[in-house]
Structure 1
Amino acid sequence: MVDVLAAPQQTRNQGKTDSSLRTLAAISLAHWVSHFHLFVLPMLFPFLKEQLGVGYIELGLAITVLGIVSGLTQAPIGYLADHIGARKVLLMGLTLGGFALILLGLNLSYPWLLVCAGLLGLANSVYHPADYAILSAHMDEARMGRAFSIHTFAGFLGGAVAPAIMATLVATVGGTGALIAAGAVGVLVALVLIVVGIPDASAADRHVDGVRAPKQSIITPAIIVLTIFFMLLGLSNAGISNFGVVALMTGYGESFSSANLALTAFLACSAVGVLAGGYLADRTSRHGRVAAACFAVNAAIMLAIATTTLPSLLLTAMMAIAGFLGGVIAPSRDMLVRSAAPPGAAGRAFGIVSTGFNLSGIFGPLLYGWIMDQSLPHWVFGASVVFMTLTVLLALVTDRRQPARAA
Structure 2
Amino acid sequence: MTAASQTFPISVPLKQDATIIGLVGLAHAASHFGHLLLPPLFPVFMAEFGLSFAQLGALMSVFFVVSGLGQASAGFVVDRVGARPMLFAALALFALAALLASTVTGYSGLVLVAALAGLANATFHPVDFTILNQRVSAPRLGHAFSAHGLTGYLGWAAAPVFFAAITAMSHWRTAYVAAALLFVGVLALMLVQRDKLTTQVEVHHADRPVEHSMAFMKLPVVWWCFAFFLFSTMTLAVVQSFSVPILKAMHGVSFEAATLTLTAYMLCGAVGMFVGGFVAAKSQHSDRVVALSMSAAALLLALCGAGFFGATLTMVVLAATGFAVGIGGPSRDMMIKKATPKGATGRVYGLVYSGLDTGFAISPLIFGVFMDRGWYAATLLGAAAVLLLSVVAALGVGQRTPAGT
> What TM-score does the superposition give when structure 2 sets the normalisation length?
0.90
The amino acid of 1:303's aligned partner reads: A
C-alpha spacing 1:116/1:323, structure 2 compared with 1 (3 Å): same
Q: Deviation string for 1:154-193 (max 9, x for gaps)?
A: 1110110111111222133412121111122112211110
Q: 1:65 aligns with which of 54, 62, 65?
A: 62
Q: Deviation string for 1:279-311 (max 9, x for gaps)?
A: 101101211100111122222222222223312
**Structure 1 stretch displaced more, 170-179 or 113-122:** 170-179
- Preserved CA contact (<8 Å) 2:82 2:198: yes
Q: Which residue of 2 aligns with 1:282?
A: 281
C-alpha spacing 1:117/1:182, structure 2 compared with 1 (3 Å): same
Matched, 1:199 2:197: yes
Q: 2:87 aligns with which of 82, 86, 90?
A: 90
Matched, 1:368 2:363: no
Q: 1:178 aligns with which of 167, 175, 178?
A: 175
C-alpha spacing 1:310/1:27, structure 2 compared with 1 (3 Å): same
The amino acid of 1:54's aligned partner reads: L
Partners of 1:147 and 1:262 in 2: CA distance: 28
Matched, 1:137 2:134: yes
The amino acid of 1:201's aligned partner reads: T
Partners of 1:119 and 1:103 in 2: CA distance: 9
> What TM-score does the superposition give when structure 1 sets the normalisation length?
0.90
Q: Which residue of 2 aligns with 1:346?
A: 345
Partners of 1:213 and 1:34 in 2: CA distance: 38
**Structure 1 stretch displaced more, 389-398 or 14-23:** 14-23
Residue 45 (structure 1) shift: 2.0
Residue 27 (structure 1) shift: 1.0
Structure 2: runs of 5+ lacking an equivalent: 1-8
Cα RMSD for the two superposed structures: 2.4
Q: Which residue of 1 aligns with 2:157?
A: 160
- Residue identity over aligned pairs, in percent, reads 31
Q: Which residue of 1 aligns with 2:5?
A: none
The amino acid of 1:310's aligned partner reads: F
The amino acid of 2:172's aligned partner reads: G
The amino acid of 1:103's aligned partner reads: L
C-alpha spacing 1:321/1:213, structure 2 compared with 1 (3 Å): farther
Q: Secondary structure at the match of 2:309?
A: coil
Partners of 2:338 and 2:208 in 1: CA distance: 18
Instruction: Give 1 or 2 for the bigger CA radius of gyration.
Output: 1
- Preserved CA contact (<8 Å) 1:94 1:123: yes
The amino acid of 1:289's aligned partner reads: R
Partners of 2:250 and 2:313 in 1: CA distance: 17
Matched, 1:336 2:344: no
The amino acid of 1:47's aligned partner reads: V
**Mapping of residues 28-47 of structure 1, within 5 Å:** 28-47=25-44
C-alpha spacing 1:16/1:61, structure 2 compared with 1 (3 Å): same
Q: 2:48 aligns with which of 37, 46, 51?
A: 51
The amino acid of 1:278's aligned partner reads: G
Q: Deviation string for 1:376-407 (max 9, x for gaps)?
A: 1111111022112212222222112213555x
Residue 105 (structure 1) shift: 1.6
Matched, 1:242 2:241: yes
The amino acid of 1:124's aligned partner reads: N
The amino acid of 2:38's aligned partner reads: L
Partners of 2:197 and 2:208 in 1: CA distance: 19
The amino acid of 1:79's aligned partner reads: F
Partners of 2:45 and 2:237 in 1: CA distance: 25
Q: Which residue of 2 aligns with 1:306?
A: 305
Residue 368 (structure 1) shift: 1.4
Residue 111 (structure 1) shift: 2.3
Q: Secondary structure at the match of 1:218?
A: helix
The amino acid of 2:157's aligned partner reads: A
Partners of 2:67 and 2:390 in 1: CA distance: 23
Matched, 1:190 2:187: yes
**Structure 1 stretch displaced more, 293-302 or 228-237:** 293-302
Q: Which residue of 2 aligns with 1:122?
A: 119
Residue 214 (structure 1) shift: 6.7
Q: Deviation string for 1:219-244 (max 9, x for gaps)?
A: 11111110011001011222222111
Residue 257 (structure 1) shift: 4.1
Residue 313 (structure 1) shift: 3.3
Partners of 1:159 and 1:27 in 2: CA distance: 16
**Structure 1 stretch displaced more, 279-288 or 215-224:** 215-224
Partners of 2:316 and 2:170 in 1: CA distance: 40
- Preserved CA contact (<8 Å) 1:252 1:309: no
Q: Which residue of 1 aligns with 2:6?
A: none
C-alpha spacing 1:213/1:124, structure 2 compared with 1 (3 Å): farther
Q: Secondary structure at the match of 1:309?
A: coil
C-alpha spacing 1:203/1:172, structure 2 compared with 1 (3 Å): same
Q: Secondary structure at the match of 1:344?
A: coil
Q: Which residue of 2 aligns with 1:7?
A: none
Q: Deviation string for 1:323-343 (max 9, x for gaps)?
A: 111011111111111111111
**Structure 1 stretch displaced more, 256-265 or 93-102:** 256-265
The amino acid of 1:400's aligned partner reads: Q
C-alpha spacing 1:312/1:212, structure 2 compared with 1 (3 Å): farther
The amino acid of 1:86's aligned partner reads: A
- Preserved CA contact (<8 Å) 2:231 2:389: yes
Structure 1: runs of 5+ lacking an equivalent: 1-11
- Preserved CA contact (<8 Å) 1:77 1:348: yes
**Structure 1 stretch displaced more, 116-125 or 319-328:** 319-328
